[in-house]
Amino acid sequence: MTTLEPTGGGAVAPATLSADELSARLAALCGGVQVGKEDPVLAGLLGPEVAQLARRARWSSLVLNPGSTSTKVSVYSGLTLAAKADVGPEAGAADDLDGRVEQVLGWMSRAGLDPMELTGIAARGGLMAPVTAGTFRVSSEMIEDLAQSPVFHPSNLAAPMATRLGERVGPDVLVTTTDPVMIDELDPVFRLTGSARLREDGTACHYLNHRAVAGLCARVLKRPLSDLHLITCHLGGGSSAVRHLQGRAAQVAPAFGGLPSANRSGALPLRQVIRQMDLRAYELEDLRADLMRSGGLVALAGTDDFEALFTLERSGSAAQADKVRLLTAFFASRVAGGILALSADAQAIDAIVLTGGLAHDERFCNLVAQRIHLPVPVARLPGALEQSALAAGLLAACADSSSLQDYAQAKQRAARRRMTAEAACDVTLFEQPRPLCAPVDAPTSLEAVIEAACTETPPVIALVGADNPEALLAIKEAIAHGGPQTPPMARFLLVGRWGPVTQLAWELDLAVDDEVVAVVDSHDPVATAVDLLSSGRVDTWMKGSVQTADLLKGYLRALKAVGALSRRLSHLALFDIPGRDRLIGVTDAAINPEPDEAGRIEILQNALNALHLLGFDRPKVAVLSATEKPSAAVGSSVDAKRIAELFADRTDLIIEGPLALDLAMSPEAAREKHYPGRIQGDADLLLVPEIDTGNAVYKAFTVTSAAEAAGVVLGGRQPLILTSRGDSARTKLASVALAVALTLRAKQTGGAL
């Protein structure tokens, strides 16, 4: 056998064997697993005392291990492997839960095995809730959790199959699962990911095989597993690796998103993923497929068969051989890198074991070992120990029922352990108040706009018609946003009748402290607001319960009084639509009913000023019409073409028109229609032809798409906060934030509002 010693030099870790010796002893045990003989792996996993008891009692065990198209089954009598097979469906037969149960019963009948003689049934664990390691009695709660698993995995069928078969045998049969796919024993340090929003928890992995290999190593090395520090790496259709410390799976390279394998990509480069998603060239479903179904070798070579790959290297063309060598080096490097990442610990590693189907290929394992420059033996154990491990868990439970865990209790213990670890992670070390006047760079969500609305000198906003619950709730959020160490987003004068306004503020727990929030008693809120703006006591207005027409008339009067009315007023709304990775603006949906071409140009310029202040260097503007081809029958399409041509030479935007809404917002539609323009469903701003279209688009976004919105009126000295009476408190908060953020950026940059 070719040595698997690493090339890094140095002494072998104390109390261990060389790679060849460890590989040979492990292989000798696994090679002894034969039908009609005692299973040496099973005996080694049980230990001498339990093994001797199992020999005498001759408990009869059925082991179920479902795969994608068939089920591995084994029957043990004590420690003796009585029979085994890979049972699949007959041609044309259903391959579902009931079908698989019948397949197993049919096989037992043909093999002369009586199900009624079974002492227990051991089922492979599936993607259930995270638990600690061990053997569990299969329960109804476990079956329910498997049925609700977010990812289908063949192992999810095992426990339901065992339950059905157990019902056929009788109430005394013991049904268990050992070391299921979701185990949560991670050290707290490996729960951290670098993001406060993301924490590691139970991670899908080949725990059954990993723990069995680790236990067998402990027997071979004649040391307690709790004293060993091991890394086991399972290589196959899915690959994973585990670092075993003090008998626990302390750190994991998971089966999904860990190491590359036959049909899974392993870890992907996040920067490239995000970039491709931004370009709409890579979708969430692509990511899911690469991580869980059709990445890895399938994506890179078109096959999930490593043996076929190595055969092609010998018999294919020179170009094919070169690619095979490239792919082989890639996989070996990534596997070695995953192992080395797990080895980054203060305690020395005692041994590394490569296992799984791909470990049958000695050459590939040598390529991996050559890349691990550690003074540690890298042993090879081809295949998997899952059947023996499942039987060991069942027989240990037969010998000592106290070793059998309750699934519901284990699930709760794991959850409490996670909560304890996360509580430590959530302790505040340093207060980090929101940075003041942070610039907004092309925000992709309204939350980013809200975060940018911060200043040491908050503007003063008059809420015109303050007897509006949603507006007062928005004000309450604006004051509280950022925490106690951060100035409020703005200060507010609540303009309206004192009695109803104060009563409503009290009911909503909005503190009227006359510093941040004060009430201005008025029976004519618009007239009072005009005086406040004209006298400079407020910076701008926010619409409350008054009519939009009355508000705008008063606002125009106030602007004229202070000489601030120099441009056309227009409305800009920004929408945060679920499932869309960017904000989309609409102008004008509220102020100008039927603007002519010159009016639409002014409206567009107002919106461009605002978007540039928000950090959009070259916003993509779609001039909407019913068609993307100008037609005299559709007047808006002709206007759109002229407007787009007028702005075409400018370098501070990308503009195309006429453009239909689907091409402006749907990359799929742009691809399907082979639209050649630069806007491929990723417009930043929709310039609508008139208010009817704008209002319809606005309501479609908010009513049918559950979009959050922010709306302001541009063209005055500062943005006017204009929302609909039916808008939510969140929309009104976002509108306040948009007005404040625009004002701050205009002051900082000297840009036009």
pLDDT at residue number 437: 44
Name the pLDDT band for 483 (thresholds 50, 70, 90). Answer: low
Shared domain for 510 and 557, answered yes or no, is: yes
- If phi > 0 it is left, if psi is from -120 to 50 it is alpha, else beta; for residue 617 that is alpha
340, 364, 383: which is the final residue of a domain? 383
With respect to residue 275, please indicate whether it lies within any of the assigned structural domains.
Answer: yes
pLDDT category of residue 439 using cuts at 50, 70 and 90:
very low
Are residues 595 and 726 located together in one domain of the fold?
yes
Give the span between the Cα atoms of 629 and 115, in whole angstroms.
73
CB of 131 closer than 8 Å to CB of 412: no
Give all strands of the β-sheet with 720-721 in edge-to-edge order: 517-521, 491-496, 460-464, 540-543, 720-721, 708-714, 570-576, 584-587, 685-687, 620-624, 654-659
Tell me what the mean pLDDT of segment 498-510 comes to.
91
CATH number, position 606:
3.40.718.10
To the nearest whole percent, how much of the chain has pLDDT over 70? 94
- Provide the pLDDT confidence category of residue 752 given band limits of 50, 70 and 90: low
> Per-residue pLDDT tens for 400-410?
999 999 999 99
Backbone angles phi, psi at 622, to 5 degrees: -105, 120
**Mean pLDDT throughout 15-35?**
87
User: Would 671 be classed as within a structural domain?
Assistant: no
Distance CA 22, CA 378 (A): 9
Cβ atoms of 233 and 258 closer than 8 Å? no
Residue-wise pLDDT for 147-189, tens only, equals 888 777 888 999 999 999 999 898 899 999 999 998 988 888 8
- Report whether pLDDT(428) > 70: yes
389, 507: one domain:
no
Residue 500 lies in a domain: yes
Quote the number of domains for the chain. 3
Please check the confidence at residue 432 and state whether its pLDDT lies above 70.
Answer: no
Of residues 318 and 275, more confidence is placed in: 318
Name the average pLDDT for the chain. 88
The parent domain of residue 550 ranges over 446-619+684-749
- Residue 579 corresponds to which tokens in the numbers above? 């499932």
Cα 122 to Cα 47, 131, 165, 182, 454: the distances in Å are 19, 18, 11, 17, 61
Whole-number pLDDT of residue 277 = 77
Domain-embedded: residue 561: yes
Burial class (CB in 10 A: 0-12, 13-18, 19+), 417: middle
Mean pLDDT of 188-209: 83
Q: How many CB atoms lie within 10 A of CB 436?
A: 13
69 shares a domain with 26? no
684 pLDDT more than 50: yes
DSSP annotation string for 665-730 = H-HHHHHHTT--SS-SS--SEEE-SSHHHHHHHHHIIIIIS--EEEEEEESSSS-EE---TT--HH
The pLDDT score that the predictor gives to residue 25 is 92
Assess whether 219 and 138 both reside in one domain.
Answer: no
Question: In this structure, are 21 and 149 located in the same domain?
Answer: no
**Are 88 and 134 in a shared domain?**
yes
Q: What is the pLDDT of residue 9?
A: 45
The pTM (predicted TM-score) of the whole model is 0.64
Position 485 pLDDT exceeds 70: no
How far CA 12 is from CA of 229, 365, 570, in Å, comes to: 14, 19, 76
Note whether residue 253 is domain-resident. yes
CATH number at residue 17: 3.30.420.40
* pLDDT value at residue 748: 75
The per-residue pLDDT for range 215-236, each reduced to its tens digit, is 999 999 999 999 999 999 999 8
Is 647 a domain residue?
Answer: no
Alpha-helix residue ranges (DSSP H) falling in 47-96:
48-57
In this structure, of 84-88, 187-191, 450-454, 562-566, the range with the lowest mean pLDDT score is 562-566
Residue with tokens 């749907």: 666
- Does any domain span residue 132? yes
pLDDT computed for residue 750 by the predictor: 64
β strands within 207-307, DSSP E: 229-234, 240-245, 248-253
- Tell which of 367, 402, 418 closes a domain: 418
Q: Is 315 helix (H, G, I), strand (E, B) or coil?
A: helix
Which pair of tokens denotes residue 176?
């268990």
Same domain, 119 and 61: yes
H/E segment holding residue 81: strand 80-87
User: What per-residue confidence (pLDDT) applies to 235?
Assistant: 93
Q: Tell me, what's the pLDDT at 4? A: 54
Strands, sheet with 248-253, edge to edge from the N-terminal-most edge strand: 248-253, 240-245, 229-234, 351-356, 378-382
pLDDT at 330 over 90: yes
Burial of 276 (0-12, 13-18, 19+ CB in 10 A): middle
At residue 459, what is the residue type?
P
Look at residue 120 and tell me whether its pLDDT is greater than 90.
Answer: yes
Q: 390 and 351, same structural domain?
A: no
Last residue of a domain, one of 418, 434, 463: 418
How confident is the model at residue 314, as a pLDDT?
Answer: 87
- In terms of domains, do 564 and 712 share one? yes
Cα(136)–Cα(130) distance, integer angstroms: 13
Q: Are 736 and 474 in contact (CB under 8 A)?
A: yes
At 695-710, the pLDDT tens digits run: 999 989 988 888 889 9
Structure tokens at 80: 């003796």
> Do 74 and 108 meet the contact criterion of CB atoms below 8 Å apart?
no
pLDDT at residue number 14? 43
pLDDT of residue 438: 45
Q: What is the mean pLDDT of residues 201-221?
A: 91
- Same domain for 562 and 707? yes
Which residues, other chains included, contact 339 with Cβ-Cβ below 8 Å and sequence gap of 6+?
231, 233, 241, 352, 368, 372
Burial 116-140 (b: 16+ CB within 10 A, else e): eebbbbbbbbbbbbbbbbbbbebbe
Mean pLDDT highest for which of 13-17, 329-333, 435-439?
329-333
Q: pLDDT over 90 for what percent of the chain? A: 54
The reply to whether 305 falls in a domain is yes
Q: What is the mean pLDDT of residues 465-478?
A: 89
Q: 226 and 94, same structural domain?
A: no
